[in-house]
Amino acid sequence: MSRFKASASAPPPPPVRLAPAAPPRFTTGAQGPAAPRVPRLATGSNPFQSLGFFFTAAYVTVQFGYIGELLAIFGHVYVPLVYVFGAPAVFFAIVGNRWRGVFRTRVGYYFVALNVLFLASLPFSVYRSASLSTFKIVVLAVYPVFLLIAGLVTTVAQVRVLMYLMVLASILDALLTLKFGVENSGRLSFVAGSLGNSNDLALHLLISLPLCLLFVFDPARHAATRLLMAIAALVMPYLALQSGSRAGVVCLIVIGLFGLWKASAAQRIILAIVLLAVIAALPTLAPETWTRLAGKTSSSSLRESREALSADDSARARMEVLRRSIQLTVMHPLFGVGMGEFADAESGLAASENVSAHWQVTHNAYTQISSECGIPALICFCGVVFGSLRLCLRLHGLSRPRAKLGEVGRMALAISVSIVCLIFAMPFDAIAYLNYVPTFAGLSVALWNASQDDLRAAGV
């Protein structure tokens, strides 16, 4: 008998039981809406994205909290932290090819077009060298925050981390204001730096208020964290009122009304408590602050006081500057007078009319863009702002009726309230080139992109 026939007559070996195949770490094809994709950063397999997010988080924190200025003011040490953390973040974003998330919404296209129009306005500037300096600061140091957040922040958890770091930076600013704030004619301001202007201080605190309330509303947060955020949510609006900023009063009213409109029943109760606590603290404001906030009153003594006259003069000057900015917009509709060059252009216009120049900024972010960069730039700027608000409101509407998407809905609501605060603050302050618009626009796009898998898994 041959060897082969003998082996054939032998009993067959027992079947080998194979362990079930492990699910793939990443989805490689269309697996239906019920198979959400696992973000690469969650598995740690993309170190470029991990490092990029780390530097982006640091960049956002130091920029939003003005940490570099705080070091210069209190430590007498100047460290360009925005470049220290921003440059590596840009590097890892380029190496990791993390720009696709920027263009998943129209907001990204509006943002890129806005920066292109900034560049296009330079040859038409009143003083090209001065506009070039402003362009470098805005486009290379401030506005990249949008690209980094929209490109490198890929999960809902990462968006929450950024918002948490931003609110901690704002709490630090509020604490330092309590300790080192200065008062001039009843108006509270920071000792120096970007928050040295009372209106800017009020806006910074109020735009951070919805972020505090986000963590107050979050039942998953630790009780100590929620208590800290609740205290900050009481202190920030009170400090904003102490600044004597009438724009701050408008923003506070808008935050209250919009929040009560969009919030759930439980959230409305907490928000109402915060507002009532702020109202109860109003009698402690200085009389000069009351006079400025109220403007003209029926009392002749108050009307003739230094504070009331200062408020009236400020209002008249702002209206005149607004008129000038609209006039320059009409005269230079396509490319404006150059980034940061409104004051110089306004002085030349005043000289041609034999009147005194104001030598001020526009005090209006919308006409700041239109007069300095043109009407097309204003359209793109509004596309970024209102497009971001639309994303958050839509996301909040989709998430609200679904319990599994509760955190996404709360985050979208907080970002949308901050953007609404910005929308109503910008007619009173020239903040178009600051970090607020690109930061919150980036958060909106990042949250929208990161929540798509969760929305599909929930059947949306």
Written in H, E and C, the secondary structure of the chain is: CCHHHHHHHCCCCCCCCCCCCCCCCCCCCCCCCCCCCCCHHHHCCCHHHHHHHHHHHHHHHHHHCCHHHHHHHHCCCCCCHHHHHHHHHHHHHHHCCCCHHHHCCHHHHHHHHHHHHHHHHHHHCCCHHHHHHHHHHHHHHHCHHHHHHHHHCCCHHHHHHHHHHHHHHHHHHHHHHHHHCEEECCEEECCCHHHHCHHHHHHHHHHHHHHHHHHHHCCCCCHHHHHHHHHHHHHHHHHHHHCCCHHHHHHHHHHHHHHHHHCCHHHHHHHHHHHHHHHHCHHHCCHHHHHHHHCCCCCHHHHCCHHHHHHHHHHHHHHHHHHHHHHHHHHCCCCCCCCCCHHHHHHHHHHHCCCCCCCCCCCCHHHHHHHHHCHHHHHHHHHHHHHHHHHHHHHHHHHCCCHHHHHHHHHHHHHHHHHHHHHHHHHHCCCCCCCHHHHHHHHHHHHHHHCHHHHHHCCC
Residue 24 falls within a domain, yes or no? no
Residue 371 reports pLDDT greater than 90:
yes
Residue 183: φ, ψ to 5°: -120, 130
Distance CA(52)–CA(391), nearest Å, equals 24
Q: Where residue 62 falls among pLDDT bands split at 50, 70, 90?
A: very high
Report the pLDDT averaged over residues 71-82: 91
Q: Quick one: CA torsion of 209, 211, 215, 217, rounded to 10 degrees?
A: 70
Strands 187-189 and 182-184: antiparallel
Residue 26 falls within a domain, yes or no? no
Contact 159, 447 (CB under 8 A): yes
- pLDDT value of residue 304: 47
Residue 241 falls within a domain, yes or no? yes
Residue 25 falls within a domain, yes or no? no
| The two structure tokens encoding residue 264 | 């759930």
Distance CA(202)–CA(245), nearest Å, equals 7
For the chain, how many structural domains are there in total? 1
Residue 27 falls within a domain, yes or no? no
In this predicted model, what pLDDT tens digit does every residue of 420-454 receive, in sequence order? 999 999 998 999 999 999 999 999 999 999 999 88
Residue 42 falls within a domain, yes or no? no
Looking at the DSSP bridge assignments, the partners of residue 183 are: 188
Residue 455 reports pLDDT greater than 90:
no
In this predicted model, what pLDDT tens digit does every residue of 35-51 receive, in sequence order? 444 344 443 457 888 89
Contact 388, 107 (CB under 8 A): yes
Report the pLDDT averaged over residues 63-92: 92
Provide the 10 A C-beta neighbour count for residue 121. 25
Residue 308 reports pLDDT greater than 70:
no
- pLDDT value of residue 34: 41
Residue 17 falls within a domain, yes or no? no
Residue 39: φ, ψ to 5°: -60, 140
Between the alpha carbon of residue 338 and those of residues 80, 106, 373, 452, the distances in Å are 26, 26, 6, 40
Nearest to 339 by CA among 141, 146, 120, 147: 120
Residue ranges making up the domain that contains 77: 54-293+306-457
Residue 302 reports pLDDT greater than 50:
no
- pLDDT value of residue 313: 59
- Residues making up the chain, counted from first to last: 460
Residue 384 reports pLDDT greater than 50:
yes
Lowest model confidence (mean pLDDT) among 50-59, 259-268, 440-449, 450-459: 259-268
Between the alpha carbon of residue 75 and those of residues 72, 85, 146, 345, the distances in Å are 5, 19, 29, 38
Residue 447: φ, ψ to 5°: -65, -40
Residue 447 falls within a domain, yes or no? yes
Residue 140: φ, ψ to 5°: -100, -25
Residue 290 reports pLDDT greater than 70:
no
